[in-house]
Amino acid sequence: MSVKKVVLAYSGGLDTSIILKWLQDKYQCEVVTFTADIGQGEELEPARLKAQKLGVREIIIRDLREEFVREYVFPLFRANTVYEGEYLLGTSIARPLIAKHLVDIAIATGADAIAHGATGKGNDQVRFELGAYALKPDIKIIAPWREWDLTSREKLLAYAQQHDIPVDMLKKGQQSPYSMDANLLHISYEGMNLEDPWQAPEENMWRWTTSPEQAPDRPIELELEFTKGDITAINGQTMTPAQVLTQLNKLGGEHGIGRLDLVENRYVGMKSRGCYETPGGTILLKAHRAMESLTMDREVAHLKDELMPRYASLVYNGYWWSPERQLLQQLIDSSQTTVNGKVRVKLYKGNVIITGRQSPTHSLFDPRIATFEEDGGAYHQQDAEGFIKLNALRMRIAARLKT
């Protein structure tokens, strides 16, 4: 492959710092680095300085926090998306955003290739590349982990020392031993003792959440306001999407919300064990379902629940930019026009407890019909007899054949 200029998804960590140098040596090409700020909570300036030391002339750092939550996280949660019953897709949902900007920068800078640091064993290689091909079909993609012989952490560190690559992990005790991914939606942990599914995660591994046992003994209540399925205010204070998720992460983390220990099925075929912290997303999911329960038609809600696993698999497997995901999104977004109102939640020692919901404009809850007291003729209970007999008709016919 002949490459003159490549855009590298660059974090400044061990893998991508080595990839930067490797690309320069292997392809004799110019490298443009792209670092996305999606709320990972790390200072990004060191990444710029490392890239400069390695001779990079075009260093691009973009603050994508609002775009990330507004255009990716919120649409995901409008569908109540959960993969394999538990995972809130914190890593998966960030990849199409990064792929989009990689392609945009490649076009803007005249680069003829993009590169990423995802391994050949994982899902991210699929997500990055499916996204890139969907947006620019003729893009060249370099995946060093599928090409080089640096197949262990020891070889990577030796390469870094040989080429004087500044990598923090060379200094003992400065970084977590786990493979981690963080953004505004979640933080994930893989590797080390987690590769034994029987081993419990160490308490000092968790970064965002207090253990439920150590969380405050007094709960807090939040009033979350929804507009067309998205939270737009907390306790009466209007916020941007990124501000909403940041605040929910803070409060949820303090009260032990959102820890998950999961063995999942990767798209490439293997099972993988990972741990996740998603405090804000856990609150958002519970509150969103509560808002829908009050404002959404029964059959629409049930149809959404039936479609959700399919939608979740599309996102997990990297098909965010596929026509089928976009078609599903149109249906989901259309369903959210009535999802307006307020939900009150209580946070207490790892639990998100719904304590109230209201929608002055779109509530389908009619207290005159639902009441156990006198309903003034709003509902005729005698009507239920014919309803039941008609629904039982096929079973009654079949039962006669058995007698």
Q: How far apart are CA 278 and CA 182, in angstroms?
A: 10
50's tokens: 């490392």
Which of 247, 223, 244, 258 minimizes the C-alpha distance to 349?
258
Asked whether 297 and 364 are in contact (CB, 8 A), the reply is yes
Partners of 271 in beta bridges = 265
Residue (of 249, 230, 215, 162) closest to 351 by Cα position: 215
Q: Do 187 and 277 meet the contact criterion of CB atoms below 8 Å apart?
A: yes
Strand locations in 30-106 (E): 30-37, 59-63
Q: The tokens 């091909």 sit on which residue?
A: 133
How many C-alpha atoms does 172 have within 13 Å on its Cβ side? 0
* C-alpha to C-alpha distance for 343 and 231, rounded to whole angstroms: 10
Which of the following is catalytic: 65, 78, 95, 273? Answer: 95
Q: Please say whether the dihedral angle defined by the alpha carbons of residues 87, 261, 268 and 34, taken in this order, is positive or negative.
A: positive
What gap in Å lies between CA 353 and CA 345, rounded to an integer?
A: 5
Residue 95 annotated as catalytic: yes
Closest CA to 325 of 132, 81, 146: 81
**Alpha-carbon span 68 to 351, nearest angstrom:** 26
List the catalytic residue out of 124, 127, 230, 357. 124
259 included as an active-site residue = no
Check if 15 is active-site.
Answer: yes
Active-site residue, selected from the candidate residues 15, 92, 181, 335: 15
Contact yes or no for 252/258 (Cβ under 8 A): yes
Known catalytic residue at 394: no
CA 163/CA 54 separation, integer angstroms: 10
Q: Backbone dihedral region of 32: left (phi > 0), alpha (psi from -120 to 50 degrees) or beta?
A: beta
State the catalytic residue, choosing from 62, 104, 112, 179.
179
- Positions marked catalytic: 15, 95, 124, 179
